[in-house]
Structure 1
Amino acid sequence: MTAQGPEQPTLPGLPPPAVRARAAGVRARTSETGQPLAEDLPIARVCVDVPPAHLDRLFDYTVPQSMAAEAVPGVRVKVRFGAQDVDGYVIERVAATDHEGRLVALRKIVSPQPVLTPEVAGLARRVADYYAGSMTDVLRLAVPPRLARVETEEPVAAPAPPATGTVTEELVAAWSDVRGGEAYLRRLAAGESPRAVWSALPASRERGGWPAALAAAASAVLRSGRGALLVVPDARDVELLAEALVAVGVAEWSREGATSAPGLGPAASFVRLTADAGPTPRYRSFLAALRGGARVVVGTRAAAFAPVADLGLVVCWDDVDPMHQERRAPYPHVREVLALRSEQTGCAVLVGSVSRSIHAQALVESGWARELVADRATVRARTPRVQALTSVEVAREGAAGAARLPGAAWQAMTAGLRDGPVLVQVPRAGYLPVVACVRCREAARCGVCTGPLSLTGARATPQCAWCGALAGGWSCPECSATGLRSVRVGSDRTAEELGRAFPGVPVRSSGARSAAGVLASVPSSPALVVATPGAEPVVEGGYSVGVLLDAAVSTNHVGLYTDQEALHRWLSAAALVRPSTEGGRVLLVGDAAPIPTNALVRWDPVGMASRELDERVELSLPPAARIASVSGDRHAVDAFLARLHLPEGGSVLGPVDVDPDQVPRDGAPGSTRRSVARTTGTLEAPVRAVVRVPVGRGRELARAMAGVLAVASAKRETGLVSVVLDPKEMV
């Protein structure tokens, strides 16, 4: 009512206008559709799935009374954003809003099942801020797609396991060869949260190797009444770890229930979270962990966000493996995600590998984590004897020493085949991945795209490795010769050559491109096993001999992590060979870089990582500094750098011209969604700049870059800018 008389706010038959909910606490009575609002906490704060960088924040929506019971934090919803309906997650419910305009109501509850826990939502925000990304990009990695049929399945009741706080002698035995290992295990069982970096040794006949040790750690955490999250590089490692968990009494979860060992409780079961499992098993396992049916999650990199109840331990096994680096924006690494999760929840951390990454060494030297290593006597007893067959070592063989398989390696393989299988690691897959002119030795290239030609078999037609075009009538543009010779030999050609050199001996190939694919294991009978790095199958009792061919290929390119990755590949294969006390031998063939070669011979990955870290500190390179790559159109990159306020001690290197193929486009595989704007034309003269700051200012750099991207996105500036924090390389 007013002094002039009654006021008609709307036409007859239409709903009255909504009353805005203000920060002062004035409640909205109805939504814009006229529906009454929820009596309690009528405002939902929603993370809306929209790509622009300046919209990376929560938006307020009103909650109709009809949705009040189901619109709880963590549920999937449909909301109106602009002129379209988009997906989102309810993050929280509040009583009032700061928004001055009219609020729109939630359109639909997609599912009443809360799939985003407050812990995982907070972790997604932390990861997005750490990598200057958006929360919606991280949530795509964290929450699998919905399957309505799986959500309707009855959850298995699982009470919390009792907290006994004790560990058995069998569990302690898995860590007895590591200094501080038993103490670490007992602290986990007592409910404490120690952080450690572990250098694992090869498996022995008495101990099951790294899977048994990680299973023992998970069992110890369960005895404290908490859960565990174990992240490994690939599905083969998931299978090995699953077998080890069953061996210590942690059963695999199923819809019918699982029976665990005495003292662990009925909820002491585990689930697998891998992309290879398929949508239905993956979502079912996700819900089992979410609902508390399983207290242990084993999986690959996306499992780092798994909703484990009462999380007590996070494990990153083999952090050097490239499979731990996410291929989608904002490109997080599992090691960093789990470190952020530990800081958020206060849980224990274990970063383990047979090698030692420079980043893990930085965690040790900064005091953030403790080191778990064996003494030198134990290392010598548990590892094979390693010999480097460089050109100097084989010079006495004369011309035969220049062969790809020197006489010393041939003799060692012949002797090894009497006792068991022999492992041969080849750094390149395929048959002849690189070929050249037989006369002038000029590299053979495709006539369509100038890509390198390769051969997939002995009688195959040359084919381009880039565009796939066949080059049946190829002739050298320099000398007109039509013959080809090998420049690089792949695993398939190596297996063919070894089959001729060792007649009557079975030859098995393991690799993503091999006919049999990646072999999980092979029999312990004498055979030659040819494998590419990361595809080496396991054999019971270990290989008698390991031969690492073409060692120079692994270290002949320039990169920040070339030596680290080469040593990791060699150690991972050598760890499958029997110890020297049982006659195990490893031969490194080729003139590789001296630093990783010496580290392999001494079996000292920690020493090499410490030396590399000292050099990085002097040169202000990662991990002693934090870097970001800014690439795209020159004018857009220049505008981005001009607007960027660097933290104290920061510097910019470049920009310099780069290959257009190295700049990710929005929507393309490997591209970032954090581009300034889409462009319809092709990139002209793309450039890249590297921004570097001290490691202590890394999060300030991420905030500054996210702010610049948001401003450019809000202004709809043209041009493409791709920002990647912690890129693998600076060039």
Structure 2
Amino acid sequence: MSTIAHVVVDVDVAHLDRPFDYLVPEKFTSKAHVGSLVRVMWGGRRVNGWIVSMADSSTHDPSPILAVTSTIPLFTERMLRTYRYVAQRYCATLSQVLSMAIPLRRAAVEKELSGPPQHKPMFEGKMPLDALYPGTQLAPNARIVATGIPHRIRASLAGLLQWASNQDIQVIITVPTGWQAAKLFEWLKAESGSSAIGLQVSEASPVQRFRTHVRALRGDFQVVVGTLAAVWTPVGDEAIIVTWDGDSDLSRSRRTPQADALDIAVARSVNEGLGIIAASFSRTVKTQAMVDSHWAVEPPVSHSIMRDMCPKVRVTGPESFEREGTSAFHGLPDSAFSLIRQNLDRGPVLIQVPGPGIEIDDGEVTIRLGAQRMGSDLGRAFPGTPVVVSASSTSIVRTLDRRPRIVVATPGAEPAVQHGYASVIVTEAHLLTFSERLDALDIALRRWFSTFAMAEAGAHVMLIGETDPQIVRALSLWNPVPAVRAQLAEREELGFFPARWMVALDGESHAVSEVATALEKVPLVPAVHIVGTVERESDNDDGSLFSARTIVRTIVACRPAQAMELMREIQAIRIARSLERKPTIHVTVNPPELF
């Protein structure tokens, strides 16, 4: 009896996004399994492919598999369910998802990892998790949205890992940047005294990434920490994924499928039954919707510990500027200088500026503010005090000691200081508050809560600039939930994400119009809603007036429960257009910029 392998070829074309039959030669029958990487002939050339299922027969005469290149299956049928789900939900081909989830194979790695799995690490929590989050019920399939407590993140994590170790439950931890992942990895190794902890970051070499993937498949790790790349790590039947700021821009893929770490964690929870903990100092409308819909629970935080650990935030806005004079509009107000003087003798003071430099025009004078300019100004204002500038435009300083100094940094370039800064000042609040992005509130709250959490426990900190009163209350009370809930209610009223599943269609005007018209006819109740269409750009290929192409964006929306049906229809339309060689349409799911 012949053995037939259904193979997804590594070709990213919409109408080829399906398995093809290949004959498994007898010499490969013991090696070919679901999850195996193979070489096959496709269109007259050799290409890679993945076996996604097996059969005893085929309706036509299939070509043989040329080689089974992986000595072990690189994914399981359980993981394949997630891959298919992500491909459909985020309008990608299955081969695109497989290419993202599975690192490039390295034969030498498979040969070197032929010994027994490593021993599992044991963690000892120094503070019971119940002391930080009273009444929290952990389970392998728990769905939790947690608020991080400043200066107690590692204590919380140690308590979680101690519980997971005792229950033999694997844990995946994702953070936004490779530097954060490396720091966390070193701390976990030191705490556990074990080498059975994996690091999976996109910056790693292909060999390192594939080695971590294979070791995870073998069951070597109880804990894997990393960036977005880590969220795909193979795990056993019982595992929890912890995402820190998992729905931030830094945790979002730049290539198809354009999903973030939280999206993938949710997909794995739905399809593989894994637990999920979405944690952050702040809250976003996406995570709040998970709580309000009862898909996830929000554990109560110890109010006494939170009160002792969180900083005291003061917001200095336009009213204060008017009292202090025009200089406050172009630099730091007098109240900020006073805050620096009051705290410098206790340790370093952080001044966060938006970037290397920003043009500001008040109608009379244009000046340039930024890290270098702010550092120079503060150096003159505080002679004899060391000033450190940390910015991507110059150099990034990663760590500092507690000696008094002024630190000027751009977002993401703030040096880490043990026990925190004596004080923190954030400038130019209006730039985030009045951004045109749909998720401007989410970004502002995340950045400012995270930045102020760098201050020592109980420190006095300051936000400078005009901002939303809801943000002022959120920071003053150190509670982002009311502001996010209000934003969520507004999104529901307007019909925006996450109250609606939104899809942006970008392309030539006539092509986008054809797709949008077809989607309006999809039999959904309520029907697909066309939010609007705007012209994105116009180009002219040959310089003539009448050959210009008009590029537009149309937003379509439906209820979240109908998302998979809508995406199935969009994928079917894309396949049909690909077969007919019609102009392509670029699809973006829940875009942060609507138009």
- TM-score tier by shorter-chain length is over 0.9
In the alignment, which residue of structure 1 is the partner of 2:113?
Answer: 154
Could you tell me which residue of structure 1 aligns to residue 75 of structure 2? 116
The aligned counterpart of 1:508 is: 388
| Corresponding residue of 1:177 | 132
Structure 2 residue aligned with 1:624? 499
> Is the 1:296–1:308 contact (alpha carbons within 8 Å) kept by the matching residues of 2?
no
Deviation larger for 302-311 or 626-635: 302-311
> What are the equivalent positions in structure 2 for 1:65-464 lying under 5 Å apart?
65-97=26-58, 99=59, 101-158=60-117, 170=125, 172-180=127-135, 183-184=136-137, 187-188=138-139, 192-203=140-151, 209-249=152-192, 251=194, 253=195, 269-428=196-355, 430=356, 432-434=357-359
Note if contact 2:387-2:406 (Cα within 8 Å) is conserved in structure 1.
Answer: yes
Letter in 2 for 1:648: V
Where does 1:429-578 land on structure 2 (aligned, <5 Å)?
Answer: 430=356, 432-434=357-359, 485-486=366-367, 488-515=368-395, 517=396, 519-578=397-456
Match for residue 596 of structure 1? 471
Residues 216 and 248, structure 1, Cα contact 8 Å, conserved in 2: no
Size of the aligned set, in residue pairs, is 586
User: What secondary structure is seen at the aligned counterpart in 2 of 1:47?
Assistant: strand
1:688 to 2:566 alignment: no
Please tell me whether the aligned partners of residues 283 and 445 of structure 2 are also in contact (alpha carbons under 8 angstroms). Answer: no
State the identity %.
Answer: 30
Cα distance in 1 for partners of 2:296, 2:360 equals 48
Quickly say closer, same or farther: Cα 1:159–1:383, change in 2 above 3 A. Answer: closer
**CA 1:335/1:629 → structure 2, altered by over 3 Å: closer, same or farther?**
same
Once the 2 structures are TM-superposed, how far is the Cα of residue 564 of structure 1 from its aligned partner?
Answer: 1.6
* SS across alignment from 2:489: helix
Please tell me whether the aligned partners of residues 90 and 257 of structure 2 are also in contact (alpha carbons under 8 angstroms). yes
C-alpha distance in 2 between matches for 1:571 and 1:440? 34
| Cα displacement (A) at 1:591 | 1.3
Give the partner amino acid of 1:210: I
Counterpart Cα distance in 2 of 1:95 and 1:134: 26
Aligned to 1:653: 531
TM-score with structure 2 setting the length? 0.93
Q: State how far apart, in whole Å, the 1-side matches of 2:94 and 2:38 are.
A: 16
* Secondary structure of 1:219's aligned partner: helix
Question: Deviation at 1:440?
Answer: 8.0
CA contact (8 A) 1:295 1:309 kept: no
State the match for 2:543 in structure 1: none
In structure 1, distance between residues paired with 2:488 and 2:302: 22
Matched, 1:63 2:63: no
Deviation at 1:62, TM superposition (A): 0.6
- For the 8 Å contact 1:358–1:613, the answer to whether it is kept is yes
- Amino acid across the alignment from 2:173: L
Distance (Å, rounded) in 2 between the aligned partners of 1:174 and 1:427: 36
Counterpart CA distance in 1 for 2:179 and 2:41 is: 43
- SS of alignment partner, residue 263 of structure 2: helix
* 1:636 aligned to which of 503, 511, 525: 511
Q: What amino acid maps onto 2:351 in structure 1? A: V
Which residue is 1:23 aligned to? none
Q: CA deviation at 1:233?
A: 0.7
Residue 376 of structure 1: how far off its partner (Å): 4.2
8 Å contact kept, 1:637–1:687: yes
Contact 2:491 2:498 in 1 (8 A): yes
Q: Does structure 1 conserve the Cα–Cα contact (< 8 Å) formed by 2:182 and 2:226?
A: no
Higher-strand-fraction structure: 2
**Deviation sequence 1:429-488 (CA, Å, 0-9, x none):** x2x34488x9987xxxxxxxxxxxxxxxxxxxxxxxxxxxxxxxxxxxxxxxxxxx43x5
State the shift of 1:398 in Å: 3.7
CA–CA distance in structure 2, aligned partners of residues 243 and 48 of structure 1: 38
Q: Provide the rounded CA distance (Å) in 2 between the counterparts of 1:407 and 1:148.
A: 63
The unaligned stretches of length 5 or more in structure 1 are 1-26, 29-41, 204-208, 254-268, 442-484, 662-680
